Chain A
């Protein structure tokens, strides 16, 4: 679930760094919401597997999701990776996007990331609590 932003801004030749990726965030979110119909149809025919959050946390690291999304799924504008902890989408939408991402994220096939592993990761992300609002953290209001 790791992807590197290339979209807006002065892109580095060596590393293709996106400097500003708020727009990418929105586009990515759109990609998640408007996941490919085929992928959705395939998923809707099967019940989503039950996830194990503890295992999902390990997989989140070992499968490299954290590389772009951060260790708590907080997202990063530099990588263009959206915030996914806690996830804002259903498992179906989440899975559809991971399998066939519409923007920069590299595709994770079921060969590289089996459905059960993905469900575990999703369960881990669901277990991450919502943080306080920014206005409630004094250091963020300096």
Chain B
């Protein structure tokens, strides 16, 4: 970020009244206080000019202050319990920055140095999904939030409450010429207002406090979403009179919205009566309690569970987990209940991408479709993350995790002895199909087992074999490695998976993994990340952040040397035109030269190894890297892989 101009002496209202008279004259005084405050700029030489060095100052300036508004802002920030604040430094929030590291002792929050605002926000994104509370982000109100916008959009699509504070100088008479004008804006939050839940521009410290607490509450109330607070530069740097006490409002978190009891009863009746009910879960379990509540519900009536993996919702090896035969389970269902599913239409329909795009329902015509989702409580128009409209039989606008206990209780209350026996039989059948699916996945993983480049199944299992006995947390998305971990590993804890970017904005995964690892650090968890090469190259500086702040994280590269999804997209077009695919690598591959991710990691101060293309070499390399991570530092193993 560009730094503040040095030519801004007297930017603030630091002059004593006595200084004004001689310099400004009677005309300025008559014009009112705002004119008076600005006028003395002409009377005092620029701070670094030769004249300033040799002349005796003609006025008695106040050049220091014990406390300024930024100290109070930090008091407010501390009251909200932020552990960290992620930021790339910027002069529009220099007051808050300095107050955090000195006045606040650089603790709660601790300043985390980031190399890009997109990394700052994505770190906050990953952190929340482990810790369950926001991490603050500081950014310039102009160039900073423009960098951050993509990551804020990802968080919005993923229903993650990122707390962003933007520096800005509202009063143009307080801006230094040049850079500060480029870095000032009328409405700093406007650029992200379409994909944030709430924002405000406080004009007093009391206003800042109320809005800061309100922003936290709004962000954390389901649907949890990003918020933006603008911290005016002048407000940050204005001295606070000695002894002045300003109230900080108490945070009273809003209880998440629970479904109406009559609606819950109606759903429970349908679930109990169903022969093949299916629970589809996605962003369902926000907490570890959510995971255990979901298990309670599924076991209460022994239903199929299809996990879309937006969060770690349901144990992967639970016998009721039918995710590996999702399509079949949904096609056989007479009741499908979606619990905070991002795309319920997509899970109940097929879609075909040929010249004529078509879709069709995959559920039985008489199947009852039900959704419980906080998304029904909040929707915006411009960005189309809400997906295609689902024609369901019952739609309940509520938080699904908060509704699970009452739904489970209703199911148990309505279950007769006859139904209990039917549930037991169904549970036995589902256990068998679960084991068959696991067997099929193992057989499928055996194909290309010894291939070079290394198969994604082999990569996943080499990693699993070395972490399975640890307290581990997988914080990278598994989408591009065929979800092998969910198919073959044993996930049973809430923090063992955190889903994907939400908005499929590339560049999320690496910083989100670092943020998640930061959250895991105090628990002593072994954090691992399977990392796509194209994603890492968006903002690789986050590797330095991990090394600098000693954030232990093992990153294993899924290096297919391409933006592979786009290789296939261009190939579809070339095939459609019968032009051959010889040119489809243009603009889509990352070769010539091949990037050395191990050297990249080493250049950022962390252990790096690779590229590894022989599967026999992978296990030992992971073992060496794990030793580094267990010592409290990040490490990266570059693995040249099959495309998917």
Contacts and interface: CB of A to CB of B under 8 A. Distances in A.
B319 to A, nearest CB: 17
Interface in A11-61: 11-17, 19-24, 26-27
Contacts of B442: 133-135, 137, 140-141
Given A70-B644, A108-B575, A16 B353 contact: yes
Interface in A77-105: 77-79, 83, 85, 103-104
B447 A3 contact: no
Interface string A106-142: 1111011000000000000000000111111101111
B424 interface: no
B582 interface: yes
B7 to A, nearest CB: 45
Contact of A72 (B346, B448, B500, B506): B448
B461 A139 contact: yes
Interface of A: 2-4, 6-17, 19-24, 26-27, 62-64, 66-68, 70-79, 83, 85, 103-104, 106-109, 111-112, 131-137, 139-142
B445 interface: yes
A112 B584 CA distance: 14
Given A64-B571, A75-B444, 11 more contacts: A15-B569, A17-B565, A23-B331, A64-B584, A67-B564, A67-B567, A107-B575, A134-B445, A136-B446, A141-B442, A142-B465
Contacts of A109: 578
Interface of B: 282, 306, 308-310, 323-328, 330-331, 342-343, 346-347, 350-354, 362, 384-385, 437, 439, 441-449, 451, 453, 455-456, 458, 461-462, 464-465, 468, 479-483, 488, 500, 503-506, 564-569, 571-572, 574-576, 578-582, 584, 642-644
Contact of B575 (A20, A106, A132): A106
Contacts of A12: 504
Contacts of B582: 62
A66 B579 CA distance: 18
A77 B488 CA distance: 14
Contacts of B482: 76-78
Given A3-B568, A20-B326, A74-B455, A131 B446 contact: yes
A70 B444 contact: no
A66 B568 contact: no
8 contacts: A2-B571, A8-B350, A10-B500, A22-B326, A62-B581, A64-B567, A77-B483, A141-B442
A71 B453 contact: yes
A83 B444 CA distance: 8
A140 B326 contact: no
B644 A137 contact: no
Nearest to A20: B326
A76 B643 contact: yes
Contacts of B580: 63, 112
A71 B465 contact: no
B310 A20 contact: no
A70 B644 CA distance: 7
Contacts of A131: 446-449
User: Which 3 pairs show the lowest CB-CB distances between chains A and B?
Assistant: A23-B327, A134-B442, A106-B575
Contacts of B568: 2-4, 67-68, 79
A133 B346 contact: no
Contacts of B451: 70-72, 74
Contacts of A103: 352
Nearest to A2: B571
A140 B308 contact: no
Contact of B327 (A16, A26, A111): A26
Contacts of A23: 325-328, 331, 350, 362
Nearest to A138: B465
Nearest to A106: B575
A8 B346 contact: yes
Contacts of B566: 15
Contacts of B462: 139
A140 to B, nearest CB: 5
Given A67-B643, A78-B644, A111-B578, A22 B352 contact: no
A10 B446 contact: no
B304 to A, nearest CB: 13
A78 B483 contact: yes
Contacts of A136: 446
B294 to A, nearest CB: 18
Contacts of B447: 70, 72-75, 83, 85, 131
B451 to A, nearest CB: 5
A7 B327 contact: yes
A131 B455 CA distance: 13
B643 A66 contact: yes
Contact of B445 (A10, A79, A104, A140): A140
A111 B327 CA distance: 35
A97 to B, nearest CB: 14
Q: Chain B CB within 10 Å — which of A10, A27, A64, A131 has the most?
A: A10
Given A15-B504, A15-B569, A27-B350, A74 B465 contact: no
A70 B643 contact: yes
A136 B328 CA distance: 27
A26 B458 CA distance: 24
A10 B327 contact: no
Contacts of A10: 282, 308, 310, 342-343, 346-347, 500
A135 B446 CA distance: 9
B445 A19 contact: no
A107 B580 CA distance: 11
B629 to A, nearest CB: 20
A22 B325 contact: yes
Nearest to A134: B442
A8 B455 CA distance: 23
A19 B541 CA distance: 29
Contact of A6 (B325, B353, B643): B353
B184 to A, nearest CB: 33
A20 B308 contact: yes
B644 A135 contact: no
Contact of A67 (B324, B464, B488, B571): B571
A73 B506 CA distance: 27
A13 B479 contact: no
